[in-house]
């Protein structure tokens, strides 16, 4: 066993130059006196009374050594002299809010633009020397970063770089700005670090992106008497950055350039000296513990013995180490107030101590935290831990993306090690995001891309080799991502650990879920002022998938335990999970004043008071426990928040996460695949043209080859991005989570609907999430029958149909969303088959909803569904693409669905109209009323558009007016086709000779058709020809064919059925 003397000698000698200052001749005298123990804070007074003078001896040695460090460093003095010239302003640089333009939201070093365009400058300027500051981008939008003079005047239209003495760089538009702009630099991404450099001696300004020099942006910058430059930024609305003037180490320092804030060299040297001693103490403890293989392992290893004799003459090695640790921490703690010292010194030590493995106990990190918890006051400990996690959060978010994500891994392993310490995992910022790499890094990750050419007629060996290389790179990327995701899942498992409540309530799970609920509340708001605090959709999506995995793990674990204790039927597996209806009205969960399906909750509680009283009476004890949880024993609190109640609350929160950001990110990220599809089609067209181009047309061939090269570069870049999207966002593992979530929401809504009027308490947001998850599965993820099983689609269709006219849903917008989802289903042949295969009860319910009068509900979407059932059977109504375009060569390329009529629904619609005469007449009258309105509006707007150029008002036509005119035309055609369907399946509705109402309907119909023919076909009416001559792309759908073919279809059906009756 190593003696105390050996340990102390080793510790002080390991500190290099400072170790040599230890008096070797007096060491034997000092060491025995130092060897005593501070067992815990209850016994400190005892040892102070007997050995107070000897404690001060060790402290005096450390103090004298630290004093030598602070006075004998020439580097400290020379570094400070550099800031005496060339810089004007306060010692600590920050942005100056007195002259701000626009509105900023500031949180320490984070700045977010609130107004349309916001500009702010620093309170420190430079006029001599070389200087730099860094901007860490939290968003990627329009920002102008750079420098300005004091005389620059900005507005919400004029920002940094828009005046003669201000200079800026904008990576969104890839431009540099000094009144005029020109191409410069690379496009930036969220998570990039932009270095802004100014050389006052040479008169140059340059920028760096993630340490890569972008070159000199501006030369011959004016300097001289009265001219100094301030750091300045301009941000668009909701753009967010983090600024670093030198308060923490620069991520990418440039040789010869100084940060704006003086580096705390003296503090760094003192911290390094103390941390070297502290690290030696930790490693000594670790070696000693490793030798004790019989020691009991627990969540927090007990460093100190509980049984120590106060009169003990022989002091252990542990006591010596604890003494040194206490004295070191006493002097180290004040230094940790500096964020610079924490990042530069403390985190480097922790990264050295942390082993990059998942299953390791991370003993050194545990010892470090045990020592902190043993010697520091709670406020001191909280400050240090908060600073550690905040610094780690910044370092993780802005770490450069490299192959295998090495930097991200080391930070996540350290977070995991810190959270394995039970007392520490109470405070933690989420490290769940995975930042996508930029194009340059993607080239390293996916060096070879493969895109199946549409013009290729055969598979070559080279193409096959490229495909295999591309797939191998994607597989390697997936493995690297899974490593990161696994660490993140393990971190969340620790944060949701329920068992640590037995040691010190409340549990980690209770604290996490409480904070998680507040997080949901902050991110659910629609206020633009709160938008700057909201987490980006990409981070939300990553958090959603990791939390989902952890929830599944703990839910199944709880289910297995309860099934063993009380039987299988006592608990539900995760495959059967749902949110009980009672959660929506029993106040156990806070739903942040969200709108319910039946209206406001306060109103619903009054309307259904009797049912709620019945529920409250049967479950009074649980309510009483909740309301008085603060006075309950610890065991009751742990039972409340570690069982199925807390898991249900977490499930509800994860459902909300999908609404907050997951679906938004899906919508945004699909732009990559859509753009890739467009470029691939364009590349195939170019290849076809090259193949058909004659050899003598050299100029055309050169232009085609140049275009091909451009498209190939774009496709190559997009294929790399697609590799990331498919691997990180739309993988089959991620799809399983969405499928399971969709099924869970379906069970929740179905059981709530079966509960009667209590269904009205369900938040409207649940319906939106239910519709969006189904859209995501069918539109964004690749089709896979094994995952999106038939029962998912069948259940969705039946639920939507059964709630088309649900009177418990009072919000018109929610009803419209349901109808819109049904109309989307009708446009896909496979979904149309599901609609046809529904039980007859559901089909009748849907037909009744579609044909009911258009009172207080959307009728445009209803028409689309009926037209879809008819398309392919109407007169001249089988076109899958619209008529020839006036502006494009060849037919329009609109994504018009192929005709797929439903004979079954046509038949059942006819039966319904004939069996329900009163409803049929009301429905037909509604069609005629809407047609009269739509066509009149269309003709009025058409006339206004044609006459405007004659009066010189053509410039006042806005896009909305053009769009309304186009929409009215489409609605008119749609209504005509619906009338054609009705006349065909139920001709007696207008041709019944003995019915006066039928005669009136026929007269109204013929009057409308005559009006349409008269307004559009007379020689004097040249409106259509004038619209054609205007060549407005928004009005391309306006054409004779669609409307006249529909009119002819109605007349032909009337003639045919009249002849049949005759």
Model confidence pLDDT, tens digit, residues 514-541: 888 888 888 887 655 555 556 788 889 9
Distance CA 990, CA 197 (A): 81
Q: Mean of the pLDDT values across residues 985-991?
A: 90
Q: Mean of the pLDDT values across residues 434-458?
A: 68
Residue 1031 lies in a domain: yes
Task: Based on the fold, state whether residues 273 and 409 are members of the same structural domain.
Answer: no
Q: Mean of the pLDDT values across residues 302-327?
A: 58
> Would you state the pLDDT for residue 877?
87
Share above pLDDT 70 across residues of the chain, in percent, rounded to a whole number: 79
Residue 672 lies in a domain: no
Best mean pLDDT range from 778-787, 883-892, 994-1003: 994-1003
Distance CA 1020, CA 759 (A): 59
> Would you state the pLDDT for residue 524?
84
Q: Mean of the pLDDT values across residues 205-221?
A: 94
Least confident of 1-15, 716-730, 946-960: 1-15
The residue ranking higher by pLDDT, 155 or 428, is 155
Least confident of 621-630, 705-714, 956-965: 621-630
> Would you state the pLDDT for residue 74?
63
- Under a CB-based contact definition with an 8 Å cutoff, are residues 977 and 870 in contact? yes
- Under a CB-based contact definition with an 8 Å cutoff, are residues 185 and 207 in contact? yes
CATH of the domain at 215: 2.60.120.920
Q: Which DSSP string do the residues of 619-643 spell out, in sequence order?
A: THHHHHHHHTGGGS-HHHHHHHHHS
Torsion of CA 870, 873, 877, 878, to 10 degrees: 110
Task: Based on the fold, state whether residues 215 and 271 are members of the same structural domain.
Answer: no
> Would you state the pLDDT for residue 335?
92
The residue ranking higher by pLDDT, 804 or 107, is 804
pLDDT(663) > 80? yes
Least confident of 53-67, 588-602, 861-875: 53-67
Q: Which domain covers residue 444, as residue numbers?
A: 338-480
> Would you state the pLDDT for residue 1009?
93
pLDDT in tens, 717-742: 888 888 888 888 999 899 999 999 99
Q: Which DSSP string do the residues of 44-76 spell out, in sequence order?
A: HHHHHHHHHHHHHHHHHHHHHHHHHHHHS-HHH
Single residue among 442, 462, 480 that ends a domain in this structure: 480
Least confident of 251-260, 323-332, 978-987: 323-332
Q: Which residues contact 552 (CB under 8 A, 6 or more apart)?
A: 574, 740
Task: Based on the fold, state whether residues 235 and 287 are members of the same structural domain.
Answer: no
pLDDT(198) > 60? yes
Single residue among 464, 480, 496 that ends a domain in this structure: 480
Residue 664 lies in a domain: no
Closest among 207, 188, 187, 189 to 197, alpha carbons compared: 207
pLDDT in tens, 544-569: 999 999 999 999 988 888 888 877 77
Task: Based on the fold, state whether residues 220 and 100 are members of the same structural domain.
Answer: yes
**Predicted confidence band of residue 656 (pLDDT cuts 50, 70, 90):** very high
Q: Mean of the pLDDT values across residues 99-110?
A: 85
Residue 904 lies in a domain: yes
Task: Based on the fold, state whether residues 253 and 287 are members of the same structural domain.
Answer: no
Single residue among 423, 446, 480 that ends a domain in this structure: 480
pLDDT(764) > 90? yes
pLDDT(1062) > 50? no
* Torsion-angle region of 435 (φ positive above 0: left; ψ -120 to 50: alpha; else: beta): beta
Residue 124 lies in a domain: yes
The residue ranking higher by pLDDT, 97 or 127, is 127
> Would you state the pLDDT for residue 802?
92
Give the total number of structural domains in the chain. Answer: 4
**Predicted confidence band of residue 461 (pLDDT cuts 50, 70, 90):** low
**Predicted confidence band of residue 579 (pLDDT cuts 50, 70, 90):** very high
pLDDT(346) > 90? yes
Least confident of 51-60, 448-457, 481-490, 1039-1048: 51-60
Task: Based on the fold, state whether residues 356 and 319 are members of the same structural domain.
Answer: no
Residue 65: both structure tokens together: 């050594």
Least confident of 38-42, 60-64, 394-398, 858-862: 38-42
Query: What mean pLDDT, rounded, does the chain reach?
Result: 80
Task: Based on the fold, state whether residues 919 and 1015 are members of the same structural domain.
Answer: yes
Taking each helix axis as running N to C, give the angle between helix 860-870 and helix 959-985, from 0 to 180 degrees, rounded to the nearest 10.
50
Task: Based on the fold, state whether residues 206 and 350 are members of the same structural domain.
Answer: no
Q: Mean of the pLDDT values across residues 452-481?
A: 74
pLDDT in tens, 1003-1037: 999 999 999 988 887 655 666 666 666 666 667 77
pLDDT(269) > 50? yes
Distance CA 867, CA 770 (A): 26
Long-range CB contacts for residues 773-778, cutoff 8 Å, separation at least 24 = 773/658, 773/663, 773/738, 773/741, 773/742, 773/745, 774/742, 774/821, 775/663, 775/821, 775/824, 776/663, 776/666, 776/738, 777/735, 777/738, 777/739, 777/742, 778/828
Residue 586 lies in a domain: no
> Would you state the pLDDT for residue 909?
93
Distance CA 954, CA 960 (A): 14
Distance CA 357, CA 378 (A): 30
Residue 431 lies in a domain: yes
The angle formed by the CA atoms of residues 215, 216 and 218, to the nearest 5 degrees, is: 150
Residue 799 lies in a domain: no
Distance CA 171, CA 195 (A): 12
Q: Mean of the pLDDT values across residues 49-74?
A: 65
> Would you state the pLDDT for residue 17?
36
The residue ranking higher by pLDDT, 159 or 5, is 159
Least confident of 83-92, 442-451, 488-497, 759-768: 442-451
> Would you state the pLDDT for residue 1032?
67
Distance CA 149, CA 167 (A): 10
Task: Based on the fold, state whether residues 204 and 269 are members of the same structural domain.
Answer: no
Query: How many C-beta atoms surround the C-beta of residue 171 within 10 A?
Result: 24
Q: Which residues contact 980 (CB under 8 A, 6 or more apart)?
A: 870, 874, 875, 1046, 1049, 1050, 1053
The residue ranking higher by pLDDT, 70 or 5, is 70
pLDDT(856) > 70? no
Q: Which residues contact 829 (CB under 8 A, 6 or more apart)?
A: 898, 900
Task: Based on the fold, state whether residues 998 and 897 are members of the same structural domain.
Answer: yes
Q: Which DSSP string do the residues of 920-972 spell out, in sequence order?
A: HHHHHHHHHHHHHHHHHHHHHHHHHHHHHHHHT-GGG--HHHHHHHHHHHHHH
**Predicted confidence band of residue 431 (pLDDT cuts 50, 70, 90):** low
Q: What are the strands of the beta sheet with 117-122, ordered from one edge? A: 95-101, 117-122, 230-236, 143-148, 166-170, 175-178, 180-183
Q: Mean of the pLDDT values across residues 765-781?
A: 92
Radius of gyration of the chain (CA): 36
Task: Based on the fold, state whether residues 906 and 1002 are members of the same structural domain.
Answer: yes
pLDDT(184) > 90? yes
pLDDT(376) > 70? yes
Q: Is the dihedral of CA 374, 380, 386, 389 positive or negative?
A: negative
Distance CA 231, CA 233 (A): 7
Task: Based on the fold, state whether residues 76 and 135 are members of the same structural domain.
Answer: no
pLDDT(453) > 50? yes
**Predicted confidence band of residue 378 (pLDDT cuts 50, 70, 90):** confident
- Find residue 208's DSSP bridge partners: 195, 213
Closest among 42, 40, 33, 31 to 3, alpha carbons compared: 31
């Amino acid at each position: 066993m190593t003696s105390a003397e050996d340990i102390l000698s080793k510790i002080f000698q390991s500190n290099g130059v400072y170790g040599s200052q230890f008096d070797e001749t007096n060491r034997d005298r000092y060491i025995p006196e130092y060897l005593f123990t501070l067992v815990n804070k209850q016994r400190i007074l005892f040892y102070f009374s007997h050995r107070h003078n000897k404690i001060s001896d060790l402290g005096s040695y450390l103090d004298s050594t630290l004093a030598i460090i602070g006075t004998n460093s020439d580097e400290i003095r020379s570094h400070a002299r550099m800031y005496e010239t060339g810089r004007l302003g306060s010692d600590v640089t920050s942005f100056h809010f007195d002259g701000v333009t626009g509105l900023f939201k500031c949180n320490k070093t984070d700045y977010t633009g609130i107004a349309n365009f916001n500009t702010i400058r620093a309170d420190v300027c430079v006029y001599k020397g070389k200087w730099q500051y860094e901007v860490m981008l939290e968003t990627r939008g329009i920002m102008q970063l750079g420098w300005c003079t004091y005389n620059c005047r900005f507005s919400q239209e004029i920002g940094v770089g828009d005046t003669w003495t201000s200079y800026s760089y904008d990576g969104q538009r890839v431009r540099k700005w000094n009144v005029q702009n020109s191409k410069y630099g690379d496009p930036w991404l969220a998570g990039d670090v932009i270095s802004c450099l100014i050389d006052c001696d040479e008169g140059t300004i340059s920028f760096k992106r993630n340490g890569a020099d972008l070159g000199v942006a501006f030369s011959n910058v004016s300097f001289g008497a009265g001219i100094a430059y301030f750091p300045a930024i301009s941000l668009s609305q909701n753009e967010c950055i983090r600024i670093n003037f030198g308060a923490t180490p620069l991520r990418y320092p440039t040789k010869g350039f100084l940060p704006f804030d003086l580096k705390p060299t003296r503090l760094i040297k003192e911290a390094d000296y103390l941390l070297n001693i502290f690290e030696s103490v930790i490693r000594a403890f670790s070696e000693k513990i490793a030798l004790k293989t019989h020691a009991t392992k627990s969540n927090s290893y007990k460093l100190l013995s509980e049984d120590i004799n106060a009169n003990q003459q022989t002091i252990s090695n542990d006591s010596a180490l604890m003494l040194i640790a206490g004295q070191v921490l006493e002097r180290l703690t004040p230094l940790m107030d500096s964020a610079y010292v924490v990042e530069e010194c403390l985190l480097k030590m922790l990264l050295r101590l942390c082993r990059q493995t998942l299953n390791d106990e991370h003993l050194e990190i545990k010892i470090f935290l045990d020592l902190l918890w043993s010697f520091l006051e709670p406020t001191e400990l909280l400050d240090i831990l908060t600073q550690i996690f905040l610094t780690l959060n910044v370092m993780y978010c802005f770490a450069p993306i490299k192959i295998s994500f090495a930097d991200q891994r080391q930070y996540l392993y350290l977070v995991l090690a810190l959270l394995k310490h039970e007392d520490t995992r109470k405070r933690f910022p989420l490290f769940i995001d995975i930042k996508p790499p930029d194009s340059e890094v993607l080239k390293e990750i996916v060096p070879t891309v493969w895109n199946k050419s549409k013009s290729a007629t055969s598979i070559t060996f080279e193409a096959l080799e490229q495909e295999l290389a591309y797939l191998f790179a994607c597989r390697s990327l997936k493995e690297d991502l899974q490593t990161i995701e696994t660490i993140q899942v393990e971190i969340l498992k620790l944060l949701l650990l329920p068992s640590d409540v037995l040691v010190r309530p409340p549990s980690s799970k209770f604290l996490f879920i409480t904070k998680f609920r507040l997080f949901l509340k902050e991110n659910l708001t629609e206020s633009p002022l709160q938008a700057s605090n909201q987490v980006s959709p990409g981070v939300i999506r990553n958090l959603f998938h990791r939390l989902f995995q952890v929830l599944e793990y703990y839910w199944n674990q709880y289910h297995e335990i309860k099934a063993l204790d009380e039987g299988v039927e006592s608990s539900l597996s995760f495959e059967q999970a749902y949110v009980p209806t009672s959660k929506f009205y029993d106040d156990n969960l806070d739903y942040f004043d969200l709108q319910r399906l039946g209206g406001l909750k306060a109103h619903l509680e009054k309307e259904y008071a009797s049912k709620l009283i019945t529920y409250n009476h049967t479950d009074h004890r649980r309510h009483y426990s909740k309301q008085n949880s603060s006075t309950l024993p610890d065991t009751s609190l742990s039972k409340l928040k570690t069982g199925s109640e807390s898991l249900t609350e977490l499930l509800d929160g994860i459902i909300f996460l999908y609404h907050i950001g997951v679906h938004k990110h899906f919508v945004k990220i699909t732009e990559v695949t859509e753009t890739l599809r467009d470029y691939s089609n364009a590349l195939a067209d170019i290849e076809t043209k090259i193949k058909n181009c004659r050899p003598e047309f050299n100029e055309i061939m050169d232009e085609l080859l140049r275009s091909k090269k451009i498209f190939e570069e774009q496709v190559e870049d997009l294929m790399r991005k697609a590799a990331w999207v498919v691997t990180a966002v739309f993988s089959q593992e991620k799809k399983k989570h969405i499928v399971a979530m969709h099924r869970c929401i379906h069970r929740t809504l179905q059981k709530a609907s079966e509960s009667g009027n209590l269904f009205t308490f369900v938040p409207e947001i649940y319906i939106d999430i239910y519709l969006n998850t189904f859209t995501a599965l069918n539109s964004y993820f690749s089709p896979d029958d094994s995952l999106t099983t038939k029962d998912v689609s069948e259940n969705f269709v039946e639920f939507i149909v059964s709630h088309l006219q649900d009177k418990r849903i009072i919000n018109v917008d929610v009803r419209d969303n349901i109808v819109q989802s049904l109309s989307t289903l009708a446009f896909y042949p496979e979904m149309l088959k599901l609609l046809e295969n529904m039980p007859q009860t559901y089909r009748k319910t849907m037909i009744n909803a579609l044909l009911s009068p258009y009172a207080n509900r959307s009728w445009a979407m209803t028409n689309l569904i009926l037209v879809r059932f008819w398309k392919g059977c109407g007169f001249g109504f089988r076109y899958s693409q619209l008529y020839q375009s006036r502006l494009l060569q060849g037919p329009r390329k609109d994504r018009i669905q192929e005709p797929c009529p439903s004979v079954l629904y046509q038949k059942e619609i006819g039966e319904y109209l004939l069996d329900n005469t009163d409803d049929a007449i009301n429905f037909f009258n509604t069609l005629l009323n809407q047609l009269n309105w739509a066509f009149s509006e269309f003709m009025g707007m058409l006339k206004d558009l044609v006459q405007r150029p004659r009066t010189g008002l053509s410039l006042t036509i806005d896009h909305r007016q053009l769009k309304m005119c186009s929409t009215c035309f489409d609605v008119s055609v749609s209504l005509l086709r619906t009338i054609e369907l009705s006349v065909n399946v139920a001709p007696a509705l207008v041709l019944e000779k003995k019915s006066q109402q039928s005669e009136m309907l026929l007269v109204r119909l013929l009057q409308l058709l005559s009006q349409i023919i008269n307004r559009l076909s007379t020689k004097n009416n040249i409106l259509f020809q004038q619209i054609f001559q205007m060549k407005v792309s928004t009005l391309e759908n306006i054409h004779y064919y669609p409307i006249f073919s529909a009119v002819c279809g109605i007349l032909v059906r009337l003639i045919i059925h009249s002849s049949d009756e005759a």
